[in-house]
Structure 1
Amino acid sequence: MARPGQRQTGARRPAPRDQRRVRDRGDVISVLARAVRELEAAARRGRVTPAVRTEFQAVALLVRQQHARILAEENSSPTHRAEQLKRLDGIATILAKTAVRAPALLTLLAEDAVVSDAARSLARDMLPAAEAEPLPEEAPPAEPVAAPAASERRVVPQSVVSRQLANPFLAPDFSAAPQRTSRPHRLAGWELLGPLLSSFERAGAGDSACTALPAPSSLRAPEGRQLMPHQAQLVAAAAAGRRTFLLADEPGLGKTAQALLAAEAANAYPLLVVVPNVVKTNWAREAGLWTPHRPATVIHGNGDTIDGFADIVVVNYEVLDRHVGWLGDFGFRGMVVDEAHFIKNRTSQRSQHVLELSQRIRTRTARPLLMALTGTPLINDIEDFRAIWQFLGWIDETKPLDELMEALEETGLTPADPGFYAAARRCVIDLGIVRRRKVDVAADIPARRIADLPVELDGPAGRSIRAAERDLARRMVARYETALAARASDGVVEGIDHDLVRRVARWELKDATTGEAGENVFSMMRRIGQAKAGLAADYAAQLARSAGKVVFFAKHVDVMDAAEETFARQGVRFSSIRGDQTPTSRQRNIDAFVKDPDVAVAVCSLTAAGVGLNLQVASNIVLAELSWTDAEQTQAIDRSHRIGQTEPVTAWRIIAAQTIDARIAELIDSKAGLAARALDGSDEEVSSSADVQLEALVALLTDALSASPQPPAGSPAGPT
């Protein structure tokens, strides 16, 4: 006999033994937790039987039902409700990842999928007796998030589609969005945006533009990392409940780490990070260092390689137009905009997309974390503040929004009162403007530091470089195997013969030096420098706008030429210091950089300008190409880090990720440590450039040999 409310479907075969559930085995969430683990194990074994499919659909149905029931409970405490929802979310996440692993399960959650009678019956059997209740005859399918049709270029990556299909019961919950109520304001009849902007123009010299921050919290950084006091202050502010920041610290003060840990303190996940192309790889790297338990994914092109289940999604401005549709419906609880002065032109497409995403997040999420990061919020004039303030939700197109308006109301002043401008400026700053200079926190940071900035080499140039690196490795492997096969059988070494590896690397280096080899380590490094030139110059231009004068170092003339073309195209004035200049021309260019405030960048040859120059007018250096020794690198940095320098110096090394460039950077650093220990400050080199070149080839060959099984050293390399 059917229970009340249950549809009579005629004779029904008993469920298999492994599908039956005893009703008194605890609460329904515990039952679901056990079931989903069984499903996960079955999917891993590749055993997606009809019984597994039925149980999968039954669990999904119950998760949806329990989620709705908990939200509707009126007599449950907020703490208990939050705990129950968190448990359900954990079950749903496992279920979703299981569905992605097994396409046969993923199809059960498609929009047109029908819940089978067997799944509905099993769902009833899984309910504990105390919680058993009639299930709805047909659960309405969740509407998948579709990309807007406004732009033909817009895409929805397959990984995101999979997430949506696998997680219809975990669709973004916008029920907690703030409910704004309009009430009359004393200042409602006043035009306020103009006076607010003017209040910053009227500020006297030395007036602080930094809100009060709490004392550093006891937040523990990941192992091997350490927060500086000024960084910990901002994180403490986020932990205390502040949710909007215009973080305008000077470059080199760790804004990326502050943003990532502020998101952790605010639990602002999923987190959207919008950045310039040149730093998006670095954001993923920094996320791995500072929030290693939070998966991060980077959107390249159409997003074919992204992880739809990641906690941190990094996208660059240049491809934002393709992804703004699904990003707006993803359910982000936080958004960071790096180099926020990129959105200063509110009529530009990039600005409109950023503001659109911010608006969606603010209207759908209760107290989201919004952070604008820039070393220079003002590029041309005070109007540049508008777009940033609008992104943060402080103003809209015509007026201050609630929080700022209430702060202005509390002053008791109007724009007609003399004290209004100072008070209004303070109201804006207290919403979350944070500005520290290097000189302000000099005690926190070292006097000289090197910061690596990894970049991805996309496009044909990047593919060609990686292919050339593989060809070089294959050539050395063939040489190694030939030498191994020709050697006598005595002296057999198990695994890789590292002595032979070093000999092969020396042969390759000798051929490269004499020009007998084809593609070699020197030509590859030159090609990598050419591919990095535009990205390095773009970053130097950003630094120049943010922090003043920048020294740009490169090894090769064609890299310097490419950088100068980029500066000219962006309207950045520069002077060029090269080895082929006459002494008079060289000095004229040096004087232009040092004395002319409009000359923002000195483009210098690493070999010709690495000695004999005093460029302490700049505290930021960009190393577009790596030198072969730490001493050469240090000499370049010391053009700015010398007597007369009043600020800590930061050298930004542009590193081509996933190439031999990254390996060489590690080798230079290791040789630097050896020199420091052995010489204790001596200028004499412990290692030569040939040491780094050799070790780079050794590492390349060793990695290639490790990637494939090797015969015992001394035995024939191929079939006998």
Structure 2
Amino acid sequence: MDRSTATPTRSRSPRKGAFDNTGLIPVLARAVREVETAASRGPVGPSGRTKFQVIALLVREERARAKTDPEMAEDVRAETLKRLDGVATILAKTAARDTSLITLLEPGHGQSDAARSLRRRMLQEAGYEVPAEETPSAPAVSDPFAERQVTPVSVRARVLANPFLPPDFALGRAPHLTRRLANWELLGPLFKAFEAGGGVTNMELPEAPAKPRWAPAGTELMHHQAEFIEAVARGHRTFLLADEPGLGKTAQSLIAASVADAFPLLAVVPNVVKMNWAREVQKWIPNRTSTVIHGDGADLDAFADVVIVNYEVLDRHSGWLKTLGFKGMVVDEAHFIKNHSAQRSKLVLSLAAALRERRSDPLLLALTGTPVINSTEDFKAIWQFLGWIDDTKPRAELMARLEETGLSPAEPGFLAEARHAVIDMGIVRRRKVDVAADLPAKRVVDLPVELDDDAGRSIQKAERELQQRLVQRYRSLAAGRKPETLEQKMQLVRLIAQQELEESRSATTGENIFTMIRKIGSAKAALAADYATQLARSTGKVVFFAKHIDVMDQAEATFARRDIKSVSIRGDQTAAARERAVDSFLHDKKTKAIVCSLSAAGVGINLQVASNVVLAELSWTAAEQQQAIDRTHRIGQSEPVTAWRIIAAHTIDAKIAELVDSKASLAARALDGDDTEITGETSIQLDALIALLKDALKL
């Protein structure tokens, strides 16, 4: 067995009686009481979390040994298992108080150096002989993802066009020499420095210029965005940008890359927002090009300025991404990498390490509204990505800042100074309420999502079949009527669309516009709920609207899996049940989400404790959409309201969104406020079918 990777074995201690108070079980019992006490006071801190994990793993090992040891007498075996069950019961009660502890027991969750050290000490205290730990030099490890790697054709073309990357001679600068703090363990104190708060977690940003010059024509940066860009313009290159959702982190990142000349730029993002990133590139840096990696990257443009990839396909592309010559990297929803042992975390950190090996000053941006979910140790992977720390200690720049404090972890005041030192490395956090003057009182933000799974392909196939049916009808009628002018052709198009709509309303089988919209809603449900989960964790309460029951069911199931407590408002509820759901959302701090039917909850209720609304399915009318948003945008609302509209890209969903918006604009011009005729459901449905047929006929 390879001693460098094997779990250290331990020899059995002398046999103990069934009722003595020596050995491992008393050690575990004392330790678990300490963790239980810590959990009773609030969220368990890093040291307590480490102790919880080690106790649980040792209980597992001892149970397995007790069940299989042939030399153990049956009465001793029964008593041992009984005492271990007692420890396990206390662990379960502790985890019920702080549910984030459960993640420490997942199969993929690795052990930290602190956990391995604690495990060793507990075994030694129990009287076991633990072999001395070896620290061999790390063997050369082959890429664990090598078999999955692909190299798109356009990447080969780019490499052939420019096979040599310019060297960065600044990499040869002498590193900072650590003196006073060289032998101190510093990561634990750094995490602890953020446990008790301590004021604003925001580095001091320079004052923005009176007329920021970075935004393209037709757009405008808000003041808080301009302050961030000014910091980049003055040379700062690593940031944990932790602004709340809705404050324009994507725009800030793209303009920062432009100011820092950090192209080509790699953006690692969740699947739900990768299409939105491509759209934001067009809006904020229109002189730059972007490409989105789908699957094996067959349609990739490796010459693009911004390469956008989602976490799920990183394992196939990490090889060539390390060598393409990126000057900057953005990780969106960076809390996705908090688990060091997870595949996506390893891939992201290896990409960042490869980038730092080639460039002395890369632009590195970690974007998240929730950098800490379970404990302050969630910071670790993000700080590693940014190059502030490595796996065991601060890197040169942060170490120099800590040296400048003149303090050590044993001295009073070190934690406060260390906290400031880390914040000044580039932590930026603004809330909606802090920048409310910059924001409109109410706005709708579209998030296009790519449906690239089996459900998405089924929807696209159904849409093509519907188009073909409309085209066949058109050609059949046109053969007899022979329309010549555009007006005559459009009259025929409208007639065909009207016939299709009437038949769809009465149809009980087959594909039509209504079945397609339902399928699209179901396909978007999990993505929309995932985004709502991110909002709930970063900003507090969120309202989730949908039309169909199956979409609402999927959303509630997703919230349950993500440990987000939710309630719902549906059409089949009694008045009392609805009142209980609303009261829970308004007054129970643990209830983070409310799943609402557009028809049942669009009017008559007040949900203003939330300022974020997720519209998982589109309304057929602008009025219905507005009514849903106005459940939160009411008198007494202290924050700007943002409605996040989830739109399935490259489907009829996108066309319906355009039509709803155009009807809303027309309604806004109506002096009497009566927009019933303009934005009726039939109008939107008919116009969507007309648009499908026009696109197919290229009219």
- In the superposition, the TM-score normalised over structure 1's length comes to 0.75
For 2:147, the equivalent position in structure 1 comes to 152
**Structure 2 CA distance for partners of 1:642 and 1:345, relative to 1, 3 Å:** same
Summarize deviations over 1:273-323 as a string: whole Å, max 9, x none.
Answer: 111111111111111211122211111122222111111111111111222
1:162 is displaced (CA, Å) by 2.1
For 1:342, the equivalent position in structure 2 comes to 336
Aligned match for 1:287, one of 261, 266, 281? 281
For 1:601, the equivalent position in structure 2 comes to 593
Letter in 1 for 2:485: V
Are 2:522 and 2:551, in contact at CA under 8 Å, matched by a contact in 1? yes
Are 1:496 and 1:705, in contact at CA under 8 Å, matched by a contact in 2? no
Q: How does 1:217-366 map to 2 (within 5 A)?
A: 217=209, 218-366=212-360
Summarize deviations over 1:157-178 as a string: whole Å, max 9, x none.
Answer: 222122222322x446455435
For 2:537, the equivalent position in structure 1 comes to 545
Summarize deviations over 1:646-701 as a string: whole Å, max 9, x none.
Answer: 11111000000011100110111111111111136568664211111111111111
Determine if the alignment matches structure 1 residue 642 to structure 2 residue 637.
no
Summarize deviations over 1:322-353 as a string: whole Å, max 9, x none.
Answer: 22121112211101010011111112121111
Letter in 1 for 2:514: F
For 1:509, the equivalent position in structure 2 comes to 501
Question: How many residue pairs were aligned?
Answer: 556
Are 1:371 and 1:392, in contact at CA under 8 Å, matched by a contact in 2? yes
Deviates more, 1:365-374 or 1:325-334: 325-334
1:263 is displaced (CA, Å) by 0.5
Determine if the alignment matches structure 1 residue 702 to structure 2 residue 694.
yes
**Structure 2 CA distance for partners of 1:413 and 1:604, relative to 1, 3 Å:** same
1:255 is displaced (CA, Å) by 0.4
Whole-Å Cα distance in 2 between the matches of residues 507 and 177 of structure 1? 69
Summarize deviations over 1:92-124 as a string: whole Å, max 9, x none.
Answer: xxxxxxxxxxxxxxxxxxxxxxxxxxxxxxxxx
Are 1:575 and 1:589, in contact at CA under 8 Å, matched by a contact in 2? yes
The alignment partner of 1:600 has SS state of strand
Whole-Å Cα distance in 1 between the matches of residues 671 and 501 of structure 2? 28
Whole-Å Cα distance in 2 between the matches of residues 148 and 471 of structure 1? 44
For 1:367, the equivalent position in structure 2 comes to 361
Whole-Å Cα distance in 2 between the matches of residues 149 and 341 of structure 1? 23
**Structure 2 CA distance for partners of 1:532 and 1:226, relative to 1, 3 Å:** same
Are 2:145 and 2:315, in contact at CA under 8 Å, matched by a contact in 1? no
Whole-Å Cα distance in 1 between the matches of residues 278 and 166 of structure 2? 24
**Structure 2 CA distance for partners of 1:182 and 1:439, relative to 1, 3 Å:** closer
1:431 is displaced (CA, Å) by 1.1
Whole-Å Cα distance in 1 between the matches of residues 284 and 672 of structure 2? 32
Structure 1: give runs of 5+ residues left out of the alignment. Answer: 1-146, 708-720
The alignment partner of 1:442 has SS state of helix
Summarize deviations over 1:466-521 as a string: whole Å, max 9, x none.
Answer: 1211121122122222222222x6x8425872122222211221111222884221
Determine if the alignment matches structure 1 residue 477 to structure 2 residue 471.
yes
For 1:671, the equivalent position in structure 2 comes to 663
For 1:42, the equivalent position in structure 2 comes to none
Q: How does 1:85-124 map to 2 (within 5 A)?
A: none
1:555 is displaced (CA, Å) by 0.3
1:378 is displaced (CA, Å) by 0.7
Whole-Å Cα distance in 1 between the matches of residues 173 and 155 of structure 2? 29
Letter in 1 for 2:161: A
Letter in 1 for 2:464: R
Whole-Å Cα distance in 2 between the matches of residues 403 and 496 of structure 1? 72
The alignment partner of 1:378 has SS state of coil
Are 2:176 and 2:397, in contact at CA under 8 Å, matched by a contact in 1? no
**Structure 2 CA distance for partners of 1:149 and 1:622, relative to 1, 3 Å:** closer
Whole-Å Cα distance in 2 between the matches of residues 248 and 266 of structure 1? 20
Summarize deviations over 1:340-388 as a string: whole Å, max 9, x none.
Answer: 1111111212111111111111121020000000001110111111111
Whole-Å Cα distance in 2 between the matches of residues 528 and 439 of structure 1? 35
1:412 is displaced (CA, Å) by 2.1
Aligned match for 1:161, one of 156, 164, 173? 156
1:568 is displaced (CA, Å) by 2.2
User: What's the C-alpha RMSD, in Å, of the aligned pairs?
Assistant: 1.9
Structure 2: give runs of 5+ residues left out of the alignment. Answer: 1-141
Whole-Å Cα distance in 2 between the matches of residues 172 and 695 of structure 1? 54
Larger Cα-atom Rg: 1
Whole-Å Cα distance in 1 between the matches of residues 244 and 674 of structure 2? 33
Aligned match for 1:616, one of 600, 608, 613? 608
Whole-Å Cα distance in 1 between the matches of residues 200 and 571 of structure 2? 44
Q: How does 1:64-103 map to 2 (within 5 A)?
A: none
Whole-Å Cα distance in 2 between the matches of residues 295 and 680 of structure 1? 45
Are 1:328 and 1:360, in contact at CA under 8 Å, matched by a contact in 2? yes
Letter in 1 for 2:311: Y
For 1:209, the equivalent position in structure 2 comes to 201
1:415 is displaced (CA, Å) by 2.3
The alignment partner of 1:607 has SS state of helix
Are 2:442 and 2:641, in contact at CA under 8 Å, matched by a contact in 1? yes
Letter in 2 for 1:209: T
Deviates more, 1:659-668 or 1:416-425: 416-425
For 1:379, the equivalent position in structure 2 comes to 373
Aligned match for 2:522, one of 520, 530, 553? 530
Identity of aligned residues (%): 62
Letter in 1 for 2:610: A
Determine if the alignment matches structure 1 residue 179 to structure 2 residue 160.
no
The alignment partner of 1:404 has SS state of helix
For 2:403, the equivalent position in structure 1 comes to 409
Are 1:175 and 1:364, in contact at CA under 8 Å, matched by a contact in 2? no
Whole-Å Cα distance in 2 between the matches of residues 583 and 404 of structure 1? 58
Are 1:178 and 1:363, in contact at CA under 8 Å, matched by a contact in 2? no
The alignment partner of 1:450 has SS state of strand
Determine if the alignment matches structure 1 residue 520 to structure 2 residue 515.
no
The alignment partner of 2:274 has SS state of helix
**Structure 2 CA distance for partners of 1:601 and 1:640, relative to 1, 3 Å:** same
Letter in 2 for 1:297: T
The alignment partner of 1:621 has SS state of strand
Q: How does 1:561-600 map to 2 (within 5 A)?
A: 561-600=553-592
Are 2:348 and 2:385, in contact at CA under 8 Å, matched by a contact in 1? yes
For 2:617, the equivalent position in structure 1 comes to 625
The alignment partner of 1:451 has SS state of strand
Are 2:614 and 2:643, in contact at CA under 8 Å, matched by a contact in 1? yes
1:616 is displaced (CA, Å) by 1.0
1:420 is displaced (CA, Å) by 2.0
**Structure 2 CA distance for partners of 1:694 and 1:404, relative to 1, 3 Å:** same
Whole-Å Cα distance in 2 between the matches of residues 424 and 557 of structure 1? 51
Are 1:246 and 1:373, in contact at CA under 8 Å, matched by a contact in 2? yes
Whole-Å Cα distance in 1 between the matches of residues 475 and 552 of structure 2? 40
Letter in 2 for 1:307: D
The alignment partner of 2:193 has SS state of helix
Whole-Å Cα distance in 1 between the matches of residues 512 and 217 of structure 2? 39
Deviates more, 1:473-482 or 1:256-265: 473-482
